[in-house]
A and B are shown apart, each in its own frame.
Chain A
Amino acid sequence: QSALTQPASVSGSPGQSITISCTGTSNDIGYYNLVSWYQQDPGKAPKLIIYEGNKRPSGISNRFSGSKSGNTASLTISGLQAEDEADYYCTSYAGRSTLVFGGGTKLTVL
């Protein structure tokens, strides 16, 4: 149950697009199409923004999109806004009814 690898931080200016990567293995991201992404504001509970790799829950802006290539999943936020500044976490199903999280990425909007 090793954590997925995310960059510790990313930054971008308002209006730009950023991408956060999430690298796993052939036993989790590479095998299952069950990657989710969460947004977490300080002191708050996480919020689901992407599930099953590229699906958005109701109410989530289409500026958020997910993709996968091999053992790496990615979250792209387009048209960056100040309100997007938060911590972002990826997760992947890892078999045997277990789940693994990424270490988290702090997004700074410059």
Chain B
Amino acid sequence: EVQLVESGGGLVQPGGSLRLSCVVSGFNFRSYWMHWVRQAPGKGLVWVSHINTDGRTITYADSVKGRFTISRDNAKNTLYLQMNSLRAEDTAMYFCARDAVQGIYAFDLWGQGTMVTVSS
């Protein structure tokens, strides 16, 4: 079955860290660009970060630059998002998503999301 499964979310204090994982199955992970997208409760979708197939090209939204790190392990079919210096405004559901075709930025496959809550 083709799927993405996120994990690693939870409750963390401001200034804390979390690492999200996205395990993929059913397709050739190493051939696809991958992204993280988040959605605060009751709010819209926001693009967070992108990584290309070999991990050498990475970009971030300005709001997370310098605090979040995206990476991938193609041998483990896993995408990661290391989140440091977390703030209340980072509270959101985090989705991993597959870019349908390299460079068209159309996400044809999404995980179910993992919730991150930043609160004291």
Contact = CB atoms under 8 A, between A and B. Distances in A.
Interface string B99-114: 0100011111011110
A99 B100 contact: no
B59 interface: yes
Contact of B105 (A36, A40, A45, A103): A36
B46 interface: yes
A104 B37 CA distance: 14
Contacts of A40: 45
B111 to A, nearest CB: 7
Nearest to B60: A98
Interface residues of A, number: 25
B108 A91 contact: no
Interface in B34-71: 35, 37, 44-47, 50, 57, 59, 61-63
B29 interface: no
Contacts of B107: 36, 38, 46, 48
B95 interface: yes
A96 B108 contact: no
Contacts of B35: 99
Interface of B: 35, 37, 44-47, 50, 57, 59, 61-63, 95, 100, 104-108, 110-113
Closest 9 CB pairs of A and B: A51-B106, A45-B110, A104-B44, A97-B59, A99-B47, A36-B106, A93-B105, A101-B45, A103-B44
16 contacts: A1-B62, A34-B104, A38-B107, A40-B45, A45-B111, A46-B107, A51-B100, A51-B106, A51-B108, A52-B106, A93-B104, A98-B59, A98-B61, A99-B105, A101-B44, A102-B44
